[in-house]
Structure 1
Amino acid sequence: MCNIFPFIMKLPGPQQEIFRNQKELEAFVKEEIREHKKSRQQAKPRDLIDAYLDKIDEESKNSEEIFNERNLITVVNDLFIAGTETTALTLRWAFLYMMAFPDVQEKCWKEINKVAGTDALPRMDLRSSMPYVEAVLHEVQRVSNIIPFGVGHYTTHDITINNYHVPKKTFVLLNLTSVLNDPEQWKSPGEFRPEHFLDEEGCFQKPEAFLPFSAGPRACLGESLAKTELFLFFTCLLQKFQFVWPDPLSKPDLDPLYKLLFIPKPYKVVVRKRVGA
């Protein structure tokens, strides 16, 4: 709609705050890139920006270059968004489900204490030793399905699928909701069951139908960052605190607000410090 009627972008409303925030973020990223250009050493990247700048130099003579400063700004912006808002939303869902299923919360707490203890904070290298926690986090992502259409794609060439012709450069969205709730892939797709990600011996397993970050080589850029943040925030908080639904006469509402993302409805929580934490 905004592409057809560009003047809509200038109308007053809450979208103007989004535009201002985007400009501030882009200005911050541009300043970081300028600082990196001043201090970087060729072929000795310190981070993503340095590595991308090296690639820009390498591809500078390529007439069809895709590595340029404009795309670098976009990539870093995407990382900020993918690594913050979606992670925060998933954690909100996670603690809502922990209150809805206190037995699951207690199992997670016991596994965290068994592996990491009560004194030291959980670390990423302990992740493989916590199969139940891993299963819970993956099941939260499956049932919350915060990005129902995943990351947008374009077709790179003409293709025919089931007699439907799809031209080159067609914008494609994946229906991740159908994949994450397919009864042929999940035993009880409508239920919250961490066992979907555990084999008969209690070891973690990830079915091929688990695609919350979209699919293909151009899936969500922030997937690795999001997984790290989710594990560390979730385990560190559960290790020290118990999350309790404040109203014993009601149950948590697990139905989402249907917006661009599937977000949990606002809720209150009672946080109790664990004994000995």
Structure 2
Amino acid sequence: MSRHITSAISQCFGKFAKMEFPKPIQNFINRSYVNIMGLDMSEFHSPETYGTLNALFTRKLGEDRTYSLDSEDFISPCDSWISECGDLQEEYALQIKGMRYKSDELLGEHFSKEERDLVKDGTFVNFYLSPKDYHRYHMPTNLKVLKAVHIPGKFYPVNMPSLKKRVNLFIENERVVLLCETASGKRFYMVLVSALNVGVMQVSFEPKIKTDADALQSALFSYDNLYLNKGDDFGCFEMGSTIVILAQKDMLYLNIKAGENVKYGQTIAKLR
């Protein structure tokens, strides 16, 4: 697969975002971004403390948020808007109302049919992170990561206009797929989906994953004893994008609906 024009655009933007300009210019860039995009900086350091626009994008919380420690409470992994959620119809989930995608195509060829079929008739949630959102992502429950797959692809925008007009958007875009297992043995997938100007999707526990690079083939990473806890920060998008959760049947009881805004740490479901 050859690299798509959207990759070149994203790489160029990424280079700009990582440039450290003279302090007065950098301050102007940072403040302008905050004002234009409407960032709420109340939980973060002031815009002037970030040496690059990328550092502002990937900012960490000043203090971690509190969240339920109840093992049955499944929290949002990020700050986002819920573009769609609900039950899969066999292997079909909604990209947005009236537009479906197949879960097995989203997950890719490195998972066996048995693994892909785990989520048949299960539950899905699409989290859209806009450019104004906090861009880091966290684990929604205590879990074990079994596999990570990096799937190179395109970098189409994942905002509402694009969701409405481009079929199989999530499947065409570059993504990182994590197969996870809860403490009770239930399994689910977390899929990090790239977007235009998302130069990098960081995965802190697997430095070999290099997104928006020159890789043209998918790569599989398997783990025997990789345990992470609820709330653990495991990386970030360098700009806004989307996370998709696909859970096996009877694992999650959602207490959110499409169109809601959620925050990292908010309880969004009960583990069954």
Higher helix share: 1
Query: Would you call these one fold, judging by a TM-score over 0.5?
Result: no
Q: Which has the larger radius of gyration?
A: 1
In which range does the TM-score fall when normalised by the shorter chain?
under 0.3
Higher strand share: 2
